[in-house]
Amino acid sequence: VIDLKTILKEQIPIRKNEIQKIKKNYGNKKIDEITINSLLGGMRGNRSMFWRSTSLDPNLGIKFHGLTIEDCQKNLPKLPNTYGQDEKIFLPETMLWLLITGEVPTVEQAMILKVELAKRGRKLPDYVDKVMSTLPKDLHPMTQFAIGIATLNKDSQFRENYEKGSIGKADYWESTYEDTLNLIALLPQLAGKVYSNSYNNGQPLGQFNENEDWSYNICSLLGMTNTSDSMNIQNFDDKKSQDFVNLMRLYTGIHVDHEGGNVSAHATHLVGSALSDAYLSYSSGIMGLAGPLHGLAAQEVVRFLIAMNSNISSPNDKKSIKDYLWSLLNSHKVIPGYGHAVLRQTDPRWTAMVDFAKRHPEEFENDKNVMLMQNLVNIAPGVLKEHGKTANPYPNVDAASGILFYHYGVRELLFFTVIFGCSRALGPLSQLVWDRGLGLPIERPKSLDLKSLKEYCD
Ligand code: CMX
């Protein structure tokens, strides 16, 4: 079978049956315990959510249906006739197939999905364009993005069918799938619209090319390719243009999901559990991604690297770097880009981004910020260990991602999170299709008021 929807149609009843059996036979089996610390500590580590596709291993990092990032780089197919294709970098389209089906697509399957997304993404509906054009240019890019996504719910097939009463519960997944694909397909257009609204007086910087892939179109709509689709605002030559598109593919391919409990994924899942459609659900995810403790971290790292570089004589001056880090820690500040709530090793997403820089030495050899980013990994973990508080002294993905985009000219730091938001759609929305397919219920944990909490304190 080569069609994603047909595969889903086959898989859903099988998996639904499996889940029903698990519920029937093991429904009362205990998985975890809730302590007062977890209740008051953001439910950290509580095993209380079902998330089908990804799981975070504290040492190996994120796994996509069991595959590490390295596995995905090896196994996800590279597609023929893809603009500037880097043999090591997979397209997010292939990852979307893996997320939804649990299987690595064939080249043919991935090609069909790529073409289908490009078809669905060719034009932003006029009413969305109009709504977004009226937004203040200085409205936060993530607010604009969330508004654009939520506005698309006018076209939600799920919402329309549900209102008409024309579908039963067993069919909910099908229109959710249509909404999901339509939404993911339109994200390059929405991101381009936000970028031109915020930074180019609303004037388009590029156009959508139906023959190209999803990440290429994000770049062309930002005006950042040297092809005829784009204004080429950075004056890229062929190589730089292709490298930037590959960086975008890499970034948007590995940020798709980080299991279910992170704020953007959880918010999408929670709102979706009320049978809100894919657009409303994911706009909530975007609102969460806009928080400084979640999606905004990459910009903090960029500010930190620039500030450090202006305070030290050279990015190779180990002693000054060490002193700078200690001055941060001594004034009770964190070292941005280091540490993680779950991971206990270097984030493999960081490794993938740094590997990109290492494979393009001529591009980055004079970039002081990238140099500093690469040198820090030999210094910061030692400092953090000596400091003695941080559970994980190693770099997370944000330590590398923002500074690479910055290098290519994305200097509008607030916009980084919009690119993150394009990528993060793929995981939580694949889950939403399965939430409907499996008929998962509305989420409704029990909360305790202070009086009830105190009753546990005797
Ligand atoms: N620099 C200095 N101190 C740090 C630190 C860092 N990079 N990371 C953790 N610590 C401190 C914590 O602030 C905490 O101190 P207190 O006990 O005084 O509150 C202590 O070490 C223990 O924290 P932890 O259990 O190691 O980490 P948490 O799970 O509480 O927090 C995180 C995780 C990411 C918020 C934290 O490591 C941090 O603030 N890092 C820097 C910011 C950053 O890089 N954020 C991006 C996160 C990327 C992602 O989530 O995907």
Q: So what's the pLDDT on residue 297? A: 87
Q: So what's the pLDDT on residue 116? A: 97
Q: So what's the pLDDT on residue 341? A: 87
What is the rounded distance in angstroms from the CA atom of residue 428 to the CA atom of residue 424?
A: 7
- pLDDT tens-digit readout, 348-371: 999 999 999 999 999 999 999 999
Per-residue DSSP letter, 157: H
294 annotated active-site: yes
> Could you tell me if residue 42 is left (phi over 0), alpha (psi between -120 and 50 degrees) or otherwise beta?
left
SS3 of 227-286: CCCECCCCCCCHHHHHHHHHHHHHHHHHCCCCCCCCHHHHHHHHHHHCCCCHHHHHHHHH
Q: So what's the pLDDT on residue 458? A: 84
Confidence of residue 2 (pLDDT cuts 50, 70, 90): confident
Domains in the chain, start-ordered, CATH in brackets? 1-25+53-291+415-440 (1.10.580.10), 297-408 (1.10.230.10)
- Closest atom of ligand 1 to 342 CA is 29
Task: Please determine, for residue 1, whether its predicted confidence score (pLDDT) is greater than 90.
Answer: no
Mean pLDDT within 238-261: 98
- pLDDT tens-digit readout, 174-230: 999 999 999 999 999 999 999 999 999 999 999 999 999 999 999 999 999 999 999
Q: How far is the CA of 387 from the centre of ligand 1 (A)?
A: 12
Nearest CA to ligand 1 atom 32: 340
DSSP codes joined into one string, 95-111: HHHHHHHSSPPPHHHHH
Residues 6+ apart with CB under 8 A from 442: 273, 274, 275
Per-residue DSSP letter, 171: G
Q: Exposure pattern of 342-375 as b/e (b: 16+ CB <10 Å)? A: bbeebbbbbbbbbbbbeebeebbeebbbbbbbbb
Mean pLDDT within 232-242: 98
Task: Please determine, for residue 456, whether its predicted confidence score (pLDDT) is greater than 80.
Answer: yes
- pLDDT tens-digit readout, 323-336: 999 999 999 999 99
Q: So what's the pLDDT on residue 349? A: 97
Q: Tell whether ipTM is more than 0.90.
A: yes
What is the rounded distance in angstroms from the CA atom of residue 32 to the CA atom of residue 50?
A: 13
Q: How far is the CA of 15 from the centre of ligand 1 (A)?
A: 38
| Run of H or E residues at 63 | strand 61-64
What is the rounded distance in angstroms from the CA atom of residue 362 to the CA atom of residue 358?
A: 9
Question: Is the minimum distance from the CB of 296 to ligand 1 under 6 angstroms?
Answer: no
Q: How far is the CA of 340 from the centre of ligand 1 (A)?
A: 6
Our CA angle for 263, 118, 156, nearest 5°, is 55
Q: So what's the pLDDT on residue 416? A: 96
Mean pLDDT within 304-319: 96
Q: What percent of the chain has pLDDT over 90?
A: 97
Q: So what's the pLDDT on residue 87? A: 92
Confidence of residue 35 (pLDDT cuts 50, 70, 90): very high
Q: Taking all residues of the chain, what is their mean pLDDT, rounded to a whole number?
A: 97
387 annotated active-site: no
Residues 6+ apart with CB under 8 A from 9: none
In the chain, how long is the greatest CA-to-CA distance? 71
Mean pLDDT within 268-289: 98
More confident residue, 271 or 296: 271
- pLDDT tens-digit readout, 395-415: 999 999 999 999 999 999 999
Question: Is the minimum distance from the CB of 114 to ligand 1 under 6 angstroms?
Answer: no
% helix, strand, coil for the chain, step of 5: 60, 5, 40
What is the rounded distance in angstroms from the CA atom of residue 30 to the CA atom of residue 27?
A: 9
Nearest CA to ligand 1 atom 44: 337
What is the rounded distance in angstroms from the CA atom of residue 209 to the CA atom of residue 271?
A: 33
- Angle of helix 157-164 relative to helix 172-199, nearest 10 degrees, comes to 140
Mean pLDDT within 420-433: 98
Task: Please determine, for residue 258, whether its predicted confidence score (pLDDT) is greater than 90.
Answer: yes
> Could you tell me if residue 86 is left (phi over 0), alpha (psi between -120 and 50 degrees) or otherwise beta?
beta
User: At 1, which amino acid appears?
Assistant: V
Place of tokens 């890499």: 250
Q: In a mutational test of the pocket of ligand 1, which residue from 44, 289, 334, 423 has the highest number of ligand atoms less than 8 Å from its CB? A: 334
* Active-site position among 155, 243, 257, 398: 398
C-alpha dihedral sign at 36, 40, 45, 46: positive
Task: Please determine, for residue 312, whether its predicted confidence score (pLDDT) is greater than 80.
Answer: yes
Nearest residue to 241 (alpha-carbon basis) of 265, 259, 222: 222
pTM of the shown model: 0.97
DSSP codes joined into one string, 367-378: -HHHHHHHHHTT
Mean pLDDT within 337-354: 95
Nearest residue to 8 (alpha-carbon basis) of 443, 432, 421: 432
- pLDDT tens-digit readout, 123-180: 999 999 999 999 999 999 999 999 999 999 999 999 999 999 999 999 999 999 999 9
